[in-house]
Amino acid sequence: MAERALPHPYLVLATAILLPGCGQVLNRQPTRGLTFLFFTLLLGALTLLTARPDVSLLGKLAGGIFVYALSIPDAYRTARLRWELHQRRDQVEP
């Protein structure tokens, strides 16, 4: 069975920035990506509903933005580690 090519870590980073949870999907971790997306939406909605009316929009969505911000380096780190391991394995094998 042929191995699929790994996406470049910068592509995964750009995807994770633009679409929450999709960087993990590119890393072949769809469950992890859906979990990040679910908690981004859940905590964003929770802070939106519980924030005082005089709080800025950023403050009202702080819970979701926090999870979203955590998902970006997670996707990039995983992609970078897999990329480097793949590159080193190719150098060792003839």
In 3D space, the residue among 57, 81, 67, 62 whose CA is nearest the CA of residue 20 turns out to be 67
Name the domain count of the chain: 1
Q: Is the pLDDT of residue 93 over 70?
A: no
Q: Please calculate the CA angle 72-75-81 and round it to the nearest 5 degrees.
A: 135
Evaluate whether residue 47 is within a structural domain: yes
- Tell if the pTM clears 0.95, that is, is over it: no
Q: What percent of the chain has pLDDT over 90?
A: 84
Convert the pLDDT of each residue in 33-68 to its tens digit. Answer: 999 999 999 999 999 999 999 999 999 999 999 999
Tokens describing residue 83: 């990329």
Q: In whole angstroms, what is the distance from residue 54 CA to residue 68 CA?
A: 23
Residue 49 lies in a domain: yes
Angle (nearest 5°) at CA 6 between 13 and 83: 70
- Tell me which residue has tokens 């470049």: 8
Higher pLDDT, 35 or 91: 35
Kindly tell me if the per-residue pLDDT of 94 is higher than 80.
Answer: no
Residue 2 counted as domain residue: no
